[in-house]
Amino acid sequence: MNEPGAKCIDVVAALIFQEGRLLVCQRRADAAFPLKWEFPGGKVEPGERYEEALRRELREELEIEIENPVEIFNHRHLYPGEAEVSLKFFRVTRFQGALRNRVFQETRWLMLQELPVLDFLEGDLPLVRRLVGPGAETLLG
């Protein structure tokens, strides 16, 4: 999957559940991949553990403190001409604080079956397909 000269970026993202719904976020119009939908999270900084990066990103983006994130899915995705991204997705069922959107165009709480109607980042699509397909409950625990 490596593209010659492509840098590899480690990314973490959270599947935050509340009352049977999942939080999804839309990138700003002036961001890379404008107006695409994604799960909140971001790049892992050098020397940072994955869970530490996830906690930091969610504090910065949503002003919440998460409890007990559990990795449920990972894969690599190549954005041609951009970078290869190694993605780790974590299930989050408990957090502290009032969720406040600090960086996104929009946030929404959706039922899993509503996910395919949104224009997700290509790197998130393998997980979206698993979440709405047969056996999703085994992925989510």
Number of domains in the chain: 1
Has residue 58 been placed in a domain? yes
The answer to whether residue 2 sits within a structural domain is no
On whether residue 138 sits in a domain, the answer given is no
Cα-atom radius of gyration of the chain, to the nearest Å? 14
pLDDT at residue 138 in the model: 80
Residues in a beta bridge with 76: 86
Q: What angle do CA 77, 83, 49 make, to 5 degrees?
A: 75
Q: What is the DSSP letter of 52?
A: H
Instruction: With a cut of 90, say whether residue 6 has pLDDT above it.
Output: no
Count of C-beta atoms within a 10 Å radius of residue 23: 20
Would you say residue 2 has pLDDT above 80?
no
In a domain, 57, yes or no: yes
Integer Cα distance of 87 and 42 in angstroms: 9
pTM for this prediction: 0.93
Burial class (CB in 10 A: 0-12, 13-18, 19+), 25: buried
State pLDDT tens for residues 62-78: 999 999 999 999 999 99
Task: Give me the domain span that covers residue 72.
Answer: 8-129
Average pLDDT over every residue of 81-98: 94
* Structure-token pair, residue 104: 């996104």
The amino acid that residue 141 corresponds to is: G
Proportion of the chain above pLDDT 70, given as a percent: 96
139 domain residue, yes or no = no
The answer to whether residue 134 sits within a structural domain is: no
What CA–CA distance (Å, rounded) separates 56 from 20? 25
- Where would I find the beta strands (DSSP E) of the chain? 8-18, 21-26, 37-38, 41-43, 65-67, 70-79, 83-92, 94-96, 106-110
| pLDDT at residue 125 in the model | 97
